[in-house]
A and B are shown apart, each in its own frame.
Chain A
Amino acid sequence: MKSSDTQMMNDVHSIEEIAQHGSINAEEIESVLRQHPAVQEVLVQRRKKRDNDTWVAYVVRNPHDQSGRDPSLTDQLHNEKVTRWQVLFDHTYKRSADSENSAFDTASWQSSYTNQLISEDEMHEAVDDPIEHILALQPERVLEIGCGTGLLLFRIAPQCASYWGTDISPVVLESLQQRLERIDPPLSNVKLFHRSADDFADMAPNSIDIIVMNSVVQYFPSIHYLVQVVKDAVKRVKSGGAIFVGDVRSLPLLEAFHASVQLHHASASMETETLRQRIQMQIERENELAIDPAFFLALKQHLPEISHVEILPKRGRHHNELTKFRYQVLLHIGGQEVDSPCSVTKLDWKQEELTLPVLRRLLQEAEPELLYVTNVPNARLSVEIQLSTLLTSDEPPATVGELQKELDKAAEIGVDPCDLWALSDELPYRVEIRWAYHDQNGSYDLICQRTSSDTKLSHTKLSNSHFKINRAESSPDTEDDLGSWQGYASNPLQDRLNRRLGQQLRQFTKERLPDYMIPSAFVMVDVLPQRDL
């Protein structure tokens, strides 16, 4: 008998059995699954698949279950995750290597909305900003972890004595090496290494001015991996140097990001409730590392080499996923934080109901030496904030089409950071926007420092404590206190943990139930779906 025929008979057999056993099955399967220590809640639903009905088990994990969580497993999961990314990057770069020869290869920079490459115009803007930050520090020796196609390398390397680039993708390094050999004048100060981000072998202590990780840490397998990398990195950086972490995906803005992408993909006829569920699912299964900016402030408490932390939005006129949902971090190593001696005028944008013209007049007429404005609403996120309000309202529009209509007619709220930075062109003020304390609304803090009175002040690094910000910053007490760091980030290993648990539960049910009652799918969720009646 052919295998397909046997299979078909098995299926037919099972349908009869399911019919015979009727309604009791789902509850019976649930009661078996509840016996597993990793299961907190469970719901089993019948899943209609043509003539072959099966079961789906929705499982809420028991957060306190520690079974199967040993360090070797974590290492294995880390390695698996890093390998997957390497495979994906190799694949992506292989396709671009054959076609692209320029020093501006944006392969792997795909839009989450269209899956097409982000436009070259937007990409130029996206790399100009980190390059400016890095060159402003006039580094001699640069190490770039995850140099990719060399978007930063080709611009920074000509300005410094040595530039080391590392990447996990051998494919991209090979094509980058070929490009380097073709350029004239040659960049003989560049050295490339194939290695993972946590490998600092042969890199001497206090030997590097700047370590750059631009658009890299989101592919790290966990926040603990990042802590380890930064810990090793700070030892290599000279006093007075810095670590630049660019394109960090914001944890507070993760929901706004997924809402925005899912809205883009949704059809007008989709029910708003379905959209809401999809957003929730995307957050739960986020496979990249999204980080709360407070993490970097906590890291400063943990690593005394870090003297000062700057958390900044990206510059750029374009409103895209890079400028809206990502931030960049400068960890200054060694040296002293200098607090400006001048007086600070503090305002809350929302409380004072400020506007851009009012702010301009204030600077012109009151001429404060140092103005610090908190809670400035962020125009880049105007749509997302309104989307979130609509989705959480008591009576949201019924369909995505109606939701979109509401959004289209809503007026833009907030101030574009570019309009604030531009103030420094017309007024004697240095303007800085800080994003260290942003929440789900993505509001930022503004610092305007008068430059004419004392030019020395314009280069002063103003510490966060200078503004006496009463926000708690704490870091885990011990290095092994991994659970505490976890609160600052998404968990990219969750999908792997879920999959392992799914396999365990399948085996568990196999040992306790007849074949036709073994769920075909085990879906890990944060909240159980409604039971179908």
Chain B
Amino acid sequence: MRESVVLQDRIATLILENVHMEVPTHETDLIETGILDSFGLVELIYQFEEEFGVPVPIHEIDFENFRSVTQMARFIEQRTGNSHNGFSPNGNSQNGYFHNGNSQ
């Protein structure tokens, strides 16, 4: 469970950088509240690829079920297979969110 929370925090951080707003909660509907629009969502999905090193085929995403941080985190976890190695930063990621990122 711990990893889910860390992943959610990282998604929330990306959203903060993109839209300059802290998400109120990880369950907040980001579209409904006007925090993200559909272009913002596409942009974020591209960033997931960069940040988490997982391919995210947009045509497979149902935007209706991709509207909160928890929903996004669940999708990425499924993409990465299981939560063992999870979403550990890929080698070329430039993020410095979690210190040395050396979790392998």
* Complex Cα–Cα for A423 and B43 (A): 47
Does the CB pair B98–A7 fall under 8 Å? Answer: yes
Q: Is the CB of A6 within 8 A of B103?
A: yes
Given A3-B88, A10-B103, A14-B99, 6 more pairs with CB closer than 8 A = A7-B6, A10-B99, A50-B5, A91-B61, A284-B20, A521-B13
Known: A91-B63, A110-B38, A506-B96. Contact between A520 and B13, CB under 8 A? yes
Residue ID in chain B nearest A112 by CB atoms: B37
Q: Which of A3, A50, A287, A506 contacts B95 (CB 8 A)?
A: A506
> How many whole Å from A452's CB to the nearest CB in chain B?
50
In contact, A49 and B9 (Cβ under 8 angstroms): yes
Interface stretch of the complex, out of A81-89, A374-382, A463-471? A81-89
Which residues 13-67 in A have Cβ within 8 Å of B in the complex? 13-14, 49-50, 52, 54, 56
What total of chain A residues lie within 8 Å of the partner, measured CB to CB? 53
Q: Does A522 contact B (CB under 8 A)?
A: yes
* Residue among B2, B38, B84, B103 making CB contact with A88, cutoff 8 Å: B38
CB-nearest residue of chain A relative to B6? A7
Contact of B97 among A54, A91, A261 (CB under 8 A): A54
Question: In the complex, what distance in Å separates the CA atom of A518 from the CA atom of B99?
Answer: 8
- Chain A, residues 422-462, CB within 8 Å of chain B (1/0): the string is 00000000000000000000000000000000000000000
A10-B98, A50-B5, A518-B96 in contact; A3/B104 too (CB < 8 A)?
yes
- In the complex, the answer to whether A84 meets B46 with C-beta atoms within 8 Å is yes
**Interchain pairs with CB closer than 8 A, number:** 111
Give the CA-CA distance A525 to B53 in the complex, in Å.
28
**A515: nearest residue on chain B (CB-CB)?**
B99
Chain B residues in 8 Å Cβ range of A56: 16
Residue contacts A-B, CB under 8 angstroms, 14 given: A6-B103, A8-B2, A11-B99, A84-B39, A110-B38, A278-B21, A281-B19, A284-B20, A287-B40, A503-B94, A506-B96, A515-B96, A515-B99, A521-B17
B86 surroundings in chain A (CB, below 8 A) = 3-4
Closest to A518 in B: B96
Compute how far the CA of A52 lies from the CA of B37 in the bound complex, rounded to whole angstroms. 29
Which bucket holds chain B's interface residue count? 35 or more
Interfacial residues, chain B to chain A (CB-CB below 8 A): 2-3, 5-6, 9, 12-13, 16-21, 31-34, 37-40, 42-43, 46-47, 58-59, 61, 63, 83-86, 88, 94-100, 102-104
A115: B residues at CB distance < 8 A: 31-32, 37-38
Residues from 234 to 282 in A contacting B, C-beta threshold 8 Å: 261-262, 264-265, 278, 281
- Contact check: which of B9, B18, B102 meets A6 at CB < 8 Å? B102
* Bound-complex Cα distance A430 to B88 (A): 68
**Cβ-closest chain B residue relative to A288:** B39
Chain A residues with CB under 8 Å of B46's CB are 84
CB of A90 closer than 8 Å to a CB of B: yes
Residue of B42, B97, B102 touching A520 (CB-CB under 8 A): B97
Residue in B18, B63, B98 whose CB lies within 8 Å of A285:
B18
Question: Does A495 count as interface, using CB distance less than 8 angstroms?
Answer: yes
Interface 0/1 of A104-128, CB less than 8 Å to B: 0000001010010000000000000
- Complex Cα distance A522/B17, Å? 6
Contact residues in A for B61 (Cβ distance below 8 Å): 91
- Per-position binary interface string of chain A over residues 318-360, scored 1 when its CB falls under 8 Å from any chain B CB and 0 otherwise: 0000000000000000000000000000000000000000000
- Residue A94 lies at the interface, judged by CB distance under 8 Å to chain B: yes
